[in-house]
Amino acid sequence: MMAWVTRLAAPLVHAIDGLLLAWSGDRWCLTTPLTGLPVRRITTTGARSGRPRTHPLTTLPEGERLALIGSNFGRRRLPAWYHNLRVHPDAQVHSAGTAERFAARPASAEEYDRFWLRAVALYPGYAAYARRASPRKVPIFVLTPADHG
């Protein structure tokens, strides 16, 4: 949560999580036991390249839907997956060795408030990330299973 820890550890933990999730069939990562944050691999389509891009991301489930918090560890720039979903609002969510298709959209104002409160309650570091990212507002995307509209 502290800026210097984030600068040093975030890229390493992010890379380790991606490798562990891929290796374990999307069952294990480093972040979840350390922070309690639920992490899944999300595959998006590159905004410029059109190539698949897979990222280990915190997901907040709500029924069949998932919310993605675009904190980017409090950095001033938006995460790459944010740009990908804005251009190509389709994603694959990997879980327990399977991948399901989801449609992504920015959270409505009401959804944003609800998911943000849940995110900060689950991990208070999000509040610090939001302060560091200011004036950028941390975006939230809602993913809905593609076959459910």
Ramachandran sector of residue 74 (left: φ over 0; alpha: ψ -120 to 50; beta: rest):
left
d(CA 12, CA 93): 22
Amino acid making up residue 110:
E
Asked whether 104 and 98 are in contact (CB, 8 A), the reply is no
Asked whether 91 and 42 are in contact (CB, 8 A), the reply is yes
pLDDT in tens, 37-68: 888 999 999 999 999 999 999 899 999 999 99
CATH of the domain at 134: 2.30.110.10
pLDDT in tens, 101-144: 999 999 999 999 999 999 999 989 899 999 999 999 999 999 99
- Is the predicted pLDDT of residue 93 greater than 70, yes or no? yes
Asked whether 100 and 148 are in contact (CB, 8 A), the reply is no
Report how many domains make up the chain. Answer: 1
- Which residue range forms the structural domain that includes residue 140? 3-148
Please give the structure tokens belonging to residue 3: 């800026």
How many angstroms separate the Cα of 122 from the Cα of each of 98, 104, 119? 26, 22, 5
Task: Give residue 120's pLDDT.
Answer: 95
CA 80 to chain centre: 11
